[in-house]
Amino acid sequence: MSPPDHIVTTEAYQVSAATPVSPSSSPDPARPADAEPLLQVKDLRVSYATEDGAVRAVDGISYELGRGRTLGIVGESGSGKTVAALSVLGLTRAEGAEVGGCIEFEGRDLLALDERELRTVRGNEIAMVFQDPLSSLHPLYRVGAQIVEAIRAHQDMTKAKARARTIELLDLVGIPDPAKRVDAYPHEMSGGQRQRAMIAMALANDPKLLIADEPTTALDVTVQAQILALLSELQQERGMALVLVTHDLGVVADMADDIAVMYAGEIVESAPAERVFAAPEHPYTWGLLRSIPTLDGPREELLTPIPGSPPSPLAPPPGCRFHPRCPYAQPEHARTNPELLSTPGQPDHRVACLLEPETRRGLWRELA
């Protein structure tokens, strides 16, 4: 696989002027929409040196994200989706990962920035919400103080002002009685409230991009929907772009404009959300879709799990990484690793599969 090839094919992802950005966030509504995407990831590679050898957590992924748009990155645990998200903010650096490729944010390559420059981006232009709000908040500091700290890291503001702003933010994310809760410790809040507080912290400096890594996985099912609704609402109000990393296609179904499906460190399919659900072309995506339970389907209908388990990142299988689990794999699929290529007639729908497009479409029609 030669990296430059699939960079060329990424144009399809660009957001046109037709995507409206909410007026509240753009001071000049007459400003011409940027032709350049907000975030452009090119051939991102992240590997860790372990005792058993190098682990390629992310192996050459590329994607683009326009202002105010939502990208869902979907994959099983171990697919590299979280590492891919953390790398945008350079948060894998501290863990000694080797990061290659290019992450352009508003035309600047984030990977080329030094720590000091990167700090001005972190929590300011790009903010992050993590999976487990309990472990992600410092247990020994009050929630308000942690948000005040985030504000003051980027804005020259008195403590009193930052505190007032923090109360506003807590109110914005729907925490009742924010003037009182601002002094609560993380352990004194419910899981949902903690995640709301994390979101408030992420919004503290009006980021242009919010990366949410499995933001609802650690929460109760009833709270999950509330948090997603909150994220979606805030995004629309503020015209933020959102990268939503999840293992659950259901989570991104309503929210994402585009979806990228990751498998074993690679993107195997990426397309506008409607297309992923209506006409997916990768057998792995089919597997993910068929393992989502539906309420309106017949009760006797069994969910179809994907056989086998994800490959070891230490020794991914040769050829197409999904071939050992793919019911349609041919012997030659063990030799060539497919490139992510546009599918005929759909320039913004890209699939990394060795099956012929016609064959894939036929198979999906049979399955669906």
Partner 1 sequence: MTRYVVRRILWGVLLLILVSALTFVLFRILPTAEPARLRAGRNASPRVIAELRVDLGLNKPLITQFWLYMRGLFLHGDLGYSYTSGASVRSLIFDRLPATLSLTIGSAIIWMAIGLPIGIVSALRRRTRTDRASMGVALLFISAPEYWLGLIVLYLFAADIGRVKVFPGAGAYAGLTADPWKWFTSLILPWLVLAAGFAAVYARLMRGSLIETLGQDYIRTARAKGLPERQVVLRHGVRAAITPILTIFALDVGVLLGGAVLIETVFEIPGIGRLNYDAITHADFPIIQGTVLLAAVFIIVANILIDIAYAYLDPRVRYS
Interacting residues with partner 1 (CB under 8 A): 86, 89, 91, 94, 115, 119-124, 127-128, 130, 132, 135-140, 146, 149-150, 153-154, 185, 187, 198, 201
- Helix, strand, coil tally for the chain in percent (to 5): 35, 20, 40
State in angstroms the smallest separation of the CB of 65 from partner 1. 18
Question: In terms of residues, how long is the chain?
Answer: 368
Q: Which is nearer to partner 1, 123 or 265 (CB)?
A: 123
State in angstroms the smallest separation of the CB of 196 from partner 1. 15
For residue 177, count CB atoms less than 10 angstroms from its CB and return exposed for 0-12, middle for 13-18, buried for 19 or more: exposed
Q: Which is nearer to partner 1, 146 or 343 (CB)?
A: 146
CA distances from 278 to 46, 61, 272, 285, 365 (A): 32, 24, 10, 11, 10
State in angstroms the smallest separation of the CB of 191 from partner 1. 14
Q: Which is nearer to partner 1, 139 or 345 (CB)?
A: 139
DSSP 177-215: SHHHHTT--GGGS-HHHHHHHHHHHHHTT--SEEEEEST
Query: What is the rounded CA–CA span in Å between residue 115 and residue 124?
Result: 14
State in angstroms the smallest separation of the CB of 361 from partner 1. 42
Q: Which is nearer to partner 1, 202 or 326 (CB)?
A: 202
State in angstroms the smallest separation of the CB of 198 from partner 1. 8
Q: Which is nearer to partner 1, 58 or 201 (CB)?
A: 201
Q: Please tell me the number of Cα atoms within 13 Å of 321 on its side-chain side.
A: 23
Taking phi over 0 as left and psi of -120 to 50 as alpha, with beta for the rest, 274 belongs to alpha
State in angstroms the smallest separation of the CB of 90 from partner 1. 8
Q: Which is nearer to partner 1, 85 or 326 (CB)?
A: 85
